[in-house]
Amino acid sequence: MGDHHHGPAKGLSRWLFATNHKDIGTMYLWFSFAMFLVGGAFAMIIRAELFQPGMQLIRPEFFNQMTTMHGLIMVFGAIMPAFVGLANWMIPMMIGAPDMALPRMNNWSFWILPPAFLLLLATMFMEGGGPAFGWTFYAPLSTTYAPPSVTFFIFGVHILGLSSIMGSINIVATVMNLRAPGMTYMKMPLFVWTWFITAYLLIAVMPVLAGAVTMMLMDIHFGTSFFSAAGGGDPVLFQHVFWFFGHPEVYIIILPAFGVVSQIIPAFARKPLFGYDSMVYATASIAFLSFIVWAHHMYTVGMPIAGELFFMYATMLIAVPTGVKVFNWITTMWRGAMTFETPMLFCIGFVVLFTIGGFTGLMLSIAPSDFQYHDSYFVVAHFHYVMVAGAVFSMTAAVYYWLPKWCGKMYNETMGKTHFWISFIGFNVTFFPQHFVGLAGMPRRIPDYALQFADFNMMSSIGAFIYGASQLLFLYNVIATIVGGKPVSDEKVWEGAEGLEWTVPTPAPFHTFSTPPQVR
Amino acid sequence: MRLFGDNPVALTVAKMAAVVVLMFSFVFVVMVPLYNVLCDALGINGKTSGQRYQAASIQVDEAREITIQFIATNSDGMPWEFRPSQTMMKVNPGAVNDTVFLARNPRPEAMVAQAIPSVSPARAAEFFHKTECFCFNNQPLDGLESTEMPLQFIVDQDLPRDIRTITLSYTMFDITEMASGAVASR
């Protein structure tokens, strides 16, 4: 590479051969938004079918594919790549690095994602249809009784797992080796810290997921019996392996969201984050605990009482570091000079709604009462409060917060606030009633339901359509900003924002920190 | 490490890649065997202990009477007629008991089956010793053939006092394809 300064390549090759962390971050973000719309469309089909009891629009087999694909696409296609994109954009700028440590691998980890999801989506057009066994793909539903397309699903999971592993290794290598002089670990912004820990979680559990799907592949094609009782295997083993991956996975989704919120709240409260050190230790504790609580997803499989108690207490323990975080955010806002721009609104929405999701999580952690809640709509309501109001709200906040820095133009604040309020109301109208139908006994993943659940389900569906439509407003606002937003030139776009990313020019030039800054 | 000389990034990547390989092998080398060992040792999942039963001193406890119930179920798509010769037995702890299960293959072609046992309550599993069982082997039957399959068991004297009934359930699986070495092809 020559030592002259060069800008981005022209045309398609800029993106295809991209090694610049900002370009790759942008691609991740757009890809994940596209997947968010696809997964959202599936959710709209689900809610349209559930608008009234009885079968109106689609067949039950297709309904099962919709619930499965909605979960898979949203978890692996929308939320995870969105945070990886954000990490690509922000981590080098936050720690004063010129780029990610491994730019070529970075390109590869992005570009294998679209084929993986094309493969996954293509299964829906294959004989027997796509995966219809739920996003948790429990054996034997996903082995003995699976459609033939399951092999493509397995291959897709292998590829996206590989992409996540490479992305995480890149993040760990960047954070460990490319920090600017003076940027000690305990001076790193919390978004960097949460991603650093998340990357370790991904490196630890993505191979477990790969192992689980490999065992499925072997059971289906090579005559082994890991999960088949007839050959001496055990379907319950699948659930243990899956949730050993699956529980850290839900923290992989939420920890970067914690990081985002910890960046934005201090900026708009105009106060430094309260309890920085405790935030770091709380994040690490949550990551550690995530490895020893997996069986709380499977209280009903027939565990010994000692096991139920262990997983119950360990799960409740997670409320302690999470509570530390919530109180720290509230204390940061306390007596701050707060203003309520769109990113801040989404963060406050996050704190309120995520806390509700946390409390329902505590209810679910109680083993004896979980037997009632298990596989009901109460669970659906719980994880949408933490996944949507948690991960998606914080992601939206992040886009509004950093968009002016990325493209040098200000979004339309009125439209942003409208987006927040429609989202907030739509979200709650969708998911709050699901607590009630769940407690009353409506099971999840069913295309039809008993008549007494009709009113709440109709509310849920109306809320879902409102929430879905509000995302189109978001898309419009972002495009309108990029195309013709009001230019901003201040390095520090937000008055209260702190951090190295606000010391570079706006919009952020193609190359930043070619000479590392000195951090004091 | 000299191998990576002055390149700290390569060293980090090598360490992380090692973790990936380690965790992938962990699933196969540790999780699967450990799961089976734990189920075995704790008698959970209704699995009877794989350890050989050591009859310390056969003392038949005439004062206690345990009801043993037998259940036979066919797994999905299994056509065999499969039932216990007697659905209930009253036994004394320590005594050796014999019974048979009956099976008939109604199809004209030969088939191979495997019975998978489960004991309920799960707590009783480690006190239920099978000294001879048709579930130890697979069961080949010619077309239209029927057979009597023996079961011999001892209920341990140490069975907790509050357990008065034990249910032994078998599920019969069709493993003809697996047994013939033919891999299920899709």
Q: Confirm whether A516 is domain-assigned.
A: no
Name the minimum distance, in Å, from the CA of B38 to any CA of chain A.
11
| Whether A249 is catalytic | yes
SS (H, E, C) chain B: CHHHCCCHHHHHHHHHHHHHHHHHHHHHHHHHHHHHHHHHHHCHHHCCCCCCCCCCCCCCCCCCCEEEEEEEEECCCCCCEEEECCCEEEECCCCEEEEEEEEECCCCCCEEEEEEEEEECHHHHHHEEEEEEHHHCCEEECCCCEEEEEEEEEECCCCCCCCCEEEEEEEEEECHHHHCCCCCCC
Q: Look at B13 and A226 and tell me if their CB atoms are within 8 Å.
A: no
Q: Confirm whether A474 is domain-assigned.
A: yes
Least reliable range by pLDDT among A191-200, A222-231, B41-50: B41-50
CA dihedral A299, A64, A150, A229 (to 10 degrees): 40
Give the integer Cα–Cα distance in Å for A467 and A78. 16
| Whether A281 is catalytic | no
Q: 10 Å Cβ neighbour count for A481?
A: 23
Can you read off the two tokens belonging to residue A101?
A: 């440590």
Q: Which chain A residue has its CA at the smallest distance from B18's CA?
A: A203
Closest CA to B119 of B52, B53, B165: B165
Q: Which chain A residue has its CA at the smallest distance from B29's CA?
A: A211
Per-residue pLDDT at B186: 31
Q: Confirm whether A77 is domain-assigned.
A: yes
Give the integer Cα–Cα distance in Å for A501 and A306. 50
Using the predicted structure, report yes or no on whether residue A374 has a pLDDT greater than 90. Answer: yes
Q: Which chain B residue has its CA at the smallest distance from A227's CA?
A: B32
Residue A211 sits in which domain range?
27-502
Report, as an integer, the average pLDDT of A382-392: 96
The kind and range of the H/E element at A250 are helix A235-269
Q: Is A88 within 8 Å of A141 (Cβ atoms)? A: no
Report, as an integer, the average pLDDT of A184-200: 96
Catalytic residue of the set A21, A179, A247, A405 = A247
Can you read off the two tokens belonging to residue A440?
A: 């009353």
| pLDDT confidence bin for A312, thresholds 50/70/90 | very high
Of B8, B20, B116, the CB nearest to A203: B20
The kind and range of the H/E element at A410 are strand A409-410
| Whether A490 is catalytic | no
Q: Is A434 within 8 Å of A117 (Cβ atoms)? A: no
| pLDDT confidence bin for A1, thresholds 50/70/90 | very low
Q: Confirm whether A1 is domain-assigned.
A: no
Give every CB contact of residue B92 below 8 A, 6+ residues apart in sequence.
B60, B61, B62, B64, B65, B66, B155
| pLDDT confidence bin for A6, thresholds 50/70/90 | low
pLDDT by residue (tens digit) across A337-363? Answer: 999 999 999 999 999 999 999 999 999
Disruptive mutation site among A238, A241, A243, A298 for chain B (greatest number of B CBs within 10 Å): A241
Q: Which residues pair with B147 in a beta bridge?
A: B103
> One digit per residue, pLDDT tens: chain B, 186 residues?
456 667 889 999 999 999 999 999 999 888 888 888 887 777 666 666 555 556 555 678 888 899 999 999 998 888 999 999 999 999 999 888 999 999 999 999 999 998 988 888 878 888 888 888 888 888 899 989 999 999 999 998 888 889 999 999 999 988 887 776 544 433
Q: Confirm whether A50 is domain-assigned.
A: yes
Q: Look at B20 and A207 and tell me if their CB atoms are within 8 Å.
A: yes
Of B23, B173, B183, the CB nearest to A221: B183
Number of independent structural domains in chain A: 1
Give every CB contact of residue A49 below 8 A, 6+ residues apart in sequence.
A55, A56, A57, A58, A63, A447
Give the integer Cα–Cα distance in Å for A226 and B177. 17
pLDDT by residue (tens digit) across B123-154? Answer: 888 888 888 888 888 889 998 999 999 999 99
Say which residue the tokens 């776009």 belong to: A493
Give the integer Cα–Cα distance in Å for B57 and A88. 70
pLDDT by residue (tens digit) across A14-73? Answer: 999 999 999 999 999 999 999 999 999 999 999 999 999 999 999 999 999 999 999 999
CATH of residue A66's domain is 1.20.210.10
Q: Look at B23 and A220 and tell me if their CB atoms are within 8 Å.
A: no
Q: Confirm whether A492 is domain-assigned.
A: yes
Q: Confirm whether A257 is domain-assigned.
A: yes
Interchain CB contact of B148 with A (< 8 Å): no
Name the minimum distance, in Å, from the CA of A70 to any CA of chain B.
26
pTM for this entry: 0.90
What backbone phi and psi angles, to 5 degrees, belong to A3?
-95, 10
ipTM above 0.90 for this complex: no
Say which residue the tokens 């380690």 belong to: B22
Interchain CB contact of B49 with A (< 8 Å): no
Supply the mean pLDDT for chain A.
94
Of A208, A215, A236, the CB nearest to B23: A208
Give the integer Cα–Cα distance in Å for A112 and A117. 9
- Chain A segment 293-332 residues within 8 A of B by beta carbon are 302-304
Question: Among the residues of A6-112, which ranges form H helices?
Answer: 12-16, 21-49, 60-72, 80-95, 103-111
Q: Confirm whether A6 is domain-assigned.
A: no
Bigger pLDDT: A497 or A223? A497
Per-residue pLDDT at A225: 87
Give the integer Cα–Cα distance in Å for A77 and A159. 12
pLDDT by residue (tens digit) across A154-186? Answer: 999 999 999 999 999 999 999 999 999 999 999
Name the minimum distance, in Å, from the CA of B56 to any CA of chain A.
28
